[in-house]
């Protein structure tokens, strides 16, 4: 929603917005753009009388224990008859498919890696001189903003039916309380990346098959001249394709055996690898980014960019300068210690698979002898429900120590982490987690903080506590 606000502001609209507890980097970006940010959802905001309210999917008709509405502004909108729409619908009508500015939409879907892959793809297209628009659920450090309109079509472009590219992070979560379809069905891409698919969002999906059905709804919207870029290592995505596909398919995977003769694969380590197509090397990526999962992200982005005419060699070379996304293995600071500095990282990982791949990526970077202290909070709706609590020991097994913030959970984190024995600690507050980490930290440690929220500002607090 913050990215939508940025796009609307760039398009010349006056934009205000409200939310509860907005945290950096998005809060900083909105204020820098001159977008007024109002705390809370008070009904008094109806007095602003905007032309349209764009409703995010955090808003519902829920009521508090005393019977009062959780979102009074939404009730006021409905009572007044004011015009409202969902974020994805506004985006589709005013940006992605506006009649005067035709776009080639490249949508990046998947349980994991959407933000990073979207950022990679936008950067590849930018380096190729295509000046893409984009909307990312984070802040790509190559651009410094989470969204932009990109190059606008000239009259000659429109006459020649040439579409300027727009890269969008395509989320499978539902659109709004009044539109329960996945967000991505609004986007109508010509190029769609299906990066991976696992069970998630247990608050709205009953099982993996229900999510596969939504992914197939996305596949149905890709035209015959379009391309679906699919992770060949995912059985769930093959089941999606088996339901029907009416466009070109490009498969990618770490192993050339999985992708078939004409697929995309890699050869080499995550920080220095060859890109293979049809079994032949067509480019090489050398960068400071960690993890096998990022090799897959890179393959997906390269295969999607090739659909717009960007050569694999050019795409791979541009990724050498890719700076990743804020909150993706971002170093927040170091604390000097005799024998080796302590490094504190920030990462968005919150699903057990994402936690495991993130820890694995850091392990490959720092080596087998360095200690990794994994600090995390199960904050997503799925994790709060406890649906995946049994996977946590598996996701953390490559960390030397694990520290869990258990505040607000309805399940016993101590019991869930008991297979880890003394390697795992649980605390009910951020301050208690910090105290545990400070007591355990040693020179040369790597402290990896993982959450899809602000985590109570734990990164700065940890650096201060470790420094003192």
Instruction: Write down the pLDDT at residue 329.
Output: 78
* Domain assignment present for 296: yes
Residues 78 and 94 reside in one and the same domain:
no
What's the CATH number where 44 sits? 3.40.50.720
Please answer whether residues 330 and 347 qualify as being in contact, where contact means their C-beta atoms are separated by less than 8 angstroms: yes
Confidence (pLDDT) at 261: 56
List phi, psi (to 5°) of 149: -75, -30
**Number of structural domains, the chain?**
3
Beta bridge partners of 228: 192, 249
Question: What is the pLDDT averaged over residues 389-406?
Answer: 89
How far apart, in whole angstroms, are the C-alpha atoms of residue 399 and residue 18?
39
Q: Euclidean distance between the first and final Cα of the chain, in Å?
A: 38
pLDDT value of residue 120:
96
CA distance 420 to 413: 12
| C-alpha closest to that of 113 among 288, 311, 330, 347 | 347
Mean pLDDT of 441-453: 90
Q: Closest Cα partner for 212 from 223, 226, 198, 222?
A: 198
Is 55 or 172 the better-scoring residue by pLDDT? Answer: 55
Residue 324 covered by a domain: no
Task: Tell me if 110 sits within 8 A of 193, measured CB to CB.
Answer: yes
pLDDT of residue 395: 87
Look at residues 273, 298, 319 and tell me which one is the last residue of a structural domain.
Answer: 319
pLDDT of residue 277: 92
| Strands 179-182 and 191-194, sheet pairing | unpaired
Predicted pLDDT of residue 326: 77
Rounded mean pLDDT of 202-230? 92
Who has greater pLDDT, 92 or 389? 92
User: By the 8 A CB rule, do 292 and 113 touch?
Assistant: no
Highest mean pLDDT among 250-264, 291-305, 452-466: 291-305
Mean pLDDT value across the chain: 90
Residues 141, 255, single domain; the answer is yes
How would you classify residue 260: left for phi > 0, otherwise alpha for psi between -120 and 50, otherwise beta?
A: left
- Using pLDDT thresholds of 50, 70 and 90, give the confidence band for residue 159: low
Question: Which of 319, 343, 365 is at the close of a domain?
Answer: 319
pLDDT score recorded for residue 257:
59
Whether residues 54 and 103 fall in one domain: no
Last residue of a domain, one of 288, 319, 350: 319
Pairing of strands 401-405, 133-135: unpaired
Residue 325 lies in a domain: no
Bigger pLDDT: 331 or 318?
A: 318
Domain limits for position 105: 89-319
Percentage of the chain exceeding pLDDT 70: 97
């Amino acid at each position: 929603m913050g990215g939508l606000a940025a796009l609307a502001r760039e398009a010349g609209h006056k934009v205000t917005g409200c939310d509860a507890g907005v945290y950096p980097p998005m809060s900083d970006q909105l204020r820098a753009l001159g977008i007024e940010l109002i705390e809370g959802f008070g009904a008094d905001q109806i007095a602003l009388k905007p032309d349209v309210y764009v409703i995010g999917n955090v808003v519902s008709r829920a009521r508090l224990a005393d019977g009062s509405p959780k979102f009074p502004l939404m009730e006021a909108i409905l009572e007044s008859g004011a015009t409202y729409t969902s974020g994805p619908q506004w985006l589709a009508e005013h940006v992605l498919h506006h009649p005067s500015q035709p776009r080639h939409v490249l949508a990046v879907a998947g349980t994991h890696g959407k933000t990073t892959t979207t950022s990679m793809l936008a950067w590849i297209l930018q380096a190729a001189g295509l000046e893409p628009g984009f909307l990312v659920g984070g802040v790509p450090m190559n651009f410094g903003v989470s969204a932009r309109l990109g190059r606008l079509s000239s009259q000659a472009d429109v006459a020649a039916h040439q579409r300027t590219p727009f890269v969008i992070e395509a989320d499978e979560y539902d659109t709004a309380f009044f539109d329960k379809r996945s967000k991505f069905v609004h986007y109508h891409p010509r190029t769609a990346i299906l990066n991976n698919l696992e069970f998630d969002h247990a608050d709205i999906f009953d099982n993996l098959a229900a999510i596969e059905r939504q992914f197939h709804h996305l596949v149905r919207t890709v035209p015959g001249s379009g391309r679906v870029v699919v992770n060949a290592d995912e059985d769930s995505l093959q089941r999606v394709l088996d339901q029907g596909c009416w466009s070109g398919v490009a498969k990618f995977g770490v192993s050339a055996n999985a992708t078939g003769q004409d697929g995309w694969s890699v050869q080499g380590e995550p920080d220095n690898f060859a890109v293979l197509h049809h079994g032949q090397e067509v480019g090489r990526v050398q960068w400071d980014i960690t993890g096998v999962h990022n090799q897959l992200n890179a393959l997906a982005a390269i295969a999607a960019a090739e659909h717009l005419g960007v050569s694999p060699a050019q795409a791979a070379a541009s990724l050498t300068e890719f700076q990743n996304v804020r909150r993706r293995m971002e170093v927040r600071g170091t604390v000097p210690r005799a024998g080796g500095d302590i490094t504190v990282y920030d990462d968005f990982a919150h699903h057990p698979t994402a936690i495991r791949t993130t820890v694995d990526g850091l392990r490959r970077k720092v080596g087998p002898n360095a200690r990794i202290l994994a600090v995390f909070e199960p904050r997503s709706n799925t994790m709060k429900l406890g649906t995946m609590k049994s996977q946590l020991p598996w996701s953390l097994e490559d960390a030397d120590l694990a520290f869990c913030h258990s505040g607000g959970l309805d399940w016993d984190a101590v019991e869930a982490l008991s297979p880890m024995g003394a390697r795992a600690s649980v605390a009910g507050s951020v301050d208690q987690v910090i105290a545990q980490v400070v007591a355990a930290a040693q020179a040369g440690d790597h402290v990896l903080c993982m959450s899809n929220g602000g985590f109570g500002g734990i990164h700065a607090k940890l650096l201060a506590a470790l420094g003192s």
